[in-house]
Amino acid sequence: MTGGAAAAGLFVRFRHEGAAADQDANKRFVTMKISGLGAWALAATLAVSSAGAADGPLPHRDDLTAEDRARVSKVLAPPTDFTRPNPFELMQGGAGTSRKRINRDAYSHANANLTFEEEQEFKVGNGLFKKMWASSPSSTLASDGLGPLYNARSCQGCHLKDGRGRPPRPGDDAVSLFLRLSIPPQTEEHRQALASKALLRIPEPTYGGQFQTFAVPGLPGEGRFDITLEEIEVPLNGEEPAILQKPVYTIRDLGYGAMHPDTLISPRVAPPMIGMGLLQAIHPGDILAQADPEDADGNGISGRVSYVRDPKTGNITIGRFGWKASNPTIRAQTASAFAGDIGIGSPDQPAPWGDCTENQQACRDMPHGEQAALGDTEAPDPVLDLVTFYSENLAVPARRNVEDPIVLRGKELFHQTGCADCHRPAFVTSRNAQNPAHQFQLIWPYTDLLLHDMGDGLADGRPVGGASGREWRTAPLWGIGLTETVNNHTRFLHDGRARNLLEAVLWHGGEAQAARDQVVAMEPEDRAALIAFLESL
């Protein structure tokens, strides 16, 4: 066994006995992940390195031996037989896939590859993820520091059951949906900050980067917003038309004066938390190899890498997390959520006032939760470490109905229509991933982690870093079929506008327009099969 294999564990056995064998094989072996590229054939045909020397397939995978690369390339070839599942397809989160009972806790289980000690760390992180923060001063010394402005009192408040947020129901306050705010650059200093990626957007001068509707006692919230809906009819072959609902947002009752006249607003729902550590473990070369910013292959799809500055190292790196891939790591995403959503300072973003700006002095003057006896920030080490570890190790649930003929037909249509060109089915994670539980895993997230132009219908008109106002990161699809089971709703897309999976598909435009139009033209039974496939993920 090679040194790389020893570090990652036993080689996977790529067996073809079907889904029944998948479960047993994945229990015993560390699995490998499919690395689908923008064009599936690219992974299999890259045979010469940039230096010109014969280097076999996948030359960018410097973590793999030549033998590994050949085997991975083979297993990543595009499927041709849609009469049965791919090997290991059932275990879409690799050997760490959760096989526990499907219920409301389906997104909340630990990666099955964790050691006993890591499971304990996961459970402590879970407690902190659910923790309700209190305003200062408070008798709960380790829990004060909330706000002063905030959107939720806990991580769980937005990511209910570690799942997907939704727009507020009529009469409810928005909790798992909030508004991002920014303005176009106003000065040369602004433009230089954006160019260097010191900033990814220019915050609204008074209300900051996020609209917080809640505040601690004695302080007004930033305001409220209303949502009105515009109906759009979409004809469907062989069926009644679909009626899409386009949300329009109106901010009212501003607590700190007028907003900048050029303020850009973009709604966001909280995304599901499963499998994030595995996405982080994808080799950067696999992401770069999929990018085709100039559409060199002429297929109408031009995925782009989101480049951001890692706040921990200061280096420019690949953004992987967030609706516009604006965070490079789960730790960075976690620190940003502590600061923006809850108003809690952490070692990576220490300001105790969260998103309160210099123009909200009353907010900055409120008591904070920093306590020297506990640490330098409101959420001192190891709080951020533990919540990050928890977020990195939420298991992906196993798929259902992988052998169902209707699901297999839907899978074939998913590939035929070009959905798989952006929602790349699988990857093999890096052997050098930081956590051994994530190393050398065959995973099926159905994303390329790239930015794509999704057309006018989904455009928010608000650039973030390298992402334009029309671009979004390809959302992972694994676990999407359990949304209703876990979260008691079926609202999808960045603002939850889609009321079901078909509506989510019909909102696709831009680079996805051709695939969307094929879905519209399908016979009803084929459309139903495509949805059945998505529901099996």
**Three-state DSSP class for 470?**
coil
Give the tokens for residue 365: 């003057």
pLDDT of 174: 83
Q: Is the pLDDT of residue 520 over 70?
A: yes
The whole-number average pLDDT for the span 491-508 is 98
Q: Are 371 and 141 in contact (CB under 8 A)?
A: yes
User: Are the CB atoms for 318 and 328 separated by under 8 Å?
Assistant: yes
∠ CA 15-21-22, rounded to 5°: 80
What's the rounded mean pLDDT across residues 222-251?
Answer: 97
- Confidence band for 16, pLDDT divided at 50, 70 and 90: very low
What is the CA angle 393-394-398, rounded to 5?
120
Q: Are 465 and 197 a contacting pair, CB within 8 Å?
A: yes
pLDDT at res. 6:
31
Which residue's entry shows tokens 């386009």?
246
Q: Identify which of 274, 266, 283, 290 has the alpha carbon closest to the alpha carbon of residue 330.
A: 274
Cα–Cα distance list, 30 to 13, 304, 452, 476, 523 (Å):
9, 31, 32, 22, 41
Q: What is the pLDDT of residues 117-167, one digit of tens each?
A: 999 999 999 999 999 999 998 877 789 999 999 999 999 999 999 999 999
- Cβ partners under 8 Å of residue 115, min gap 6: none
The pLDDT tens digits for 268-308 are 999 999 999 999 999 999 999 999 999 999 999 999 999 99
pTM of the entire predicted model: 0.90
The two tokens of residue 127 are: 């407690």
- d(Cα 508, Cα 255) in Å, to the nearest integer? 36
CA 362 to chain centroid, in Å, comes to 35
End-to-end CA distance of the chain: 34
Both structure tokens of 303:
């995925």
